[in-house]
Chains A and B, each alone.
Chain A
Amino acid sequence: TQLLEQSPQFLSIQEGENLTVYCNSSSVFSSLQWYRQEPGEGPVLLVTVVTGGEVKKLKRLTFQFGDARKDSSLHITAAQPGDTGLYLCSYSGAGSYQLTFGKGTKLSVIP
């Protein structure tokens, strides 16, 4: 099983600030997914990145897949309290039909 390292583990910022969280591994992935889990809820898929160097935008969220397909980042512009949650990256291993998740970055955006 490949390991996904997410950093930072915790992040507390003021509303309006920008932030970047990371998902790293020593292994190459065919794709990576980003999920957000709000308190008291299950994770919700935000995006899947497939191509090395790919950049996807979802409103104020920008996702990037590393050129070598070993890492990914999520950048949030002008964070809002509604962005508060646990951000998880995940991958599907070769020959596997389930997702493996990193431990996540817990983001708190203070009004």
Chain B
Amino acid sequence: EAGVTQSPTHLIKTRGQQATLRCSPISGHTSVYWYQQALGLGLQFLLWYDEGEERNRGNFPPRFSGRQFPNYSSELNVNALELEDSALYLCASSLDEGKLNEKLFFGSGTQLSVL
């Protein structure tokens, strides 16, 4: 069974551009989470999608947005890129059983570099 897949693996952009990152969850998983892992800051929660809806959002500006498609795959969009957006962006999926789920399955991430 395929795990969580993310694309692209690496992405290089310049300041002010827009970036789109993609994630396919494990088959059968309906919840998708996005985390940012920047040097020295650890994993910071960005967004949670379930059944096509945004369920929760971390402390990030509105230029970080995303969506979840009917097949449960997800996109993260970052507009007006800034240098400090350089980080590893991790996607995770889980079975949403209508309750707190502590077991996340992570992809290998997209390394975004903003020059």
Residues of A within 8 A of B (CB): 31, 33, 40-45, 48, 88, 90, 92, 96-104
Known contacts A42-B90, A98-B33, A101-B43; A48/B55 CB under 8 A: no
Query: Which residue from chain A places its CB closest to the CB of B40 in the assembled complex?
Result: A103
- Checking A33, A40, A43, A88 against B102 with a beta-carbon cut-off of 8 angstroms, the contacting residue is A33
Contacts of A98 in B (CB 8 A): 33, 45, 48, 56, 58
Stretch of B11-19, B61-69, B106-114 that contacts chain A: B106-114
User: Does A92 lie within 8 Å of B106, measured CB to CB?
Assistant: no
Residue of A nearest to B88 (CB): A42
Tally chain B residues at the interface, Cβ within 8 Å: 25
* Bound-complex Cα distance A46 to B104 (A): 11
The CA of A45 and the CA of B92, in the complex, are separated in Å by 12
Q: Is the CB of A99 within 8 A of B102?
A: yes
5 smallest beta-carbon distances between A and B, as pairs: A42-B106, A103-B42, A101-B43, A98-B45, A92-B100
What is the chain B residue whose CB lies nearest that of A38?
A: B108
Instruction: Look across to chain A and name the residue whose beta carbon is closest to the beta carbon of B106.
Output: A42
List the A side residues contacting B40 at CB < 8 Å.
103
The reply to whether A99 and B45 contact each other, CB–CB distance below 8 Å, is: yes
> Can you name the residue of chain A whose Cβ is closest to the Cβ of B91?
A42
With contact pairs A33-B102, A48-B102 given, residues A97 and B48 touching in the complex (Cβ less than 8 Å): yes
Complex contact B56–A42 (CB within 8 A): no
Tell me, in angstroms, the Cα distance from A15 to B104 when the chains sit together: 30
Q: A43-B43, A44-B106 given. 6 additional CB < 8 A pairs?
A: A33-B102, A42-B4, A43-B106, A88-B43, A92-B102, A101-B43
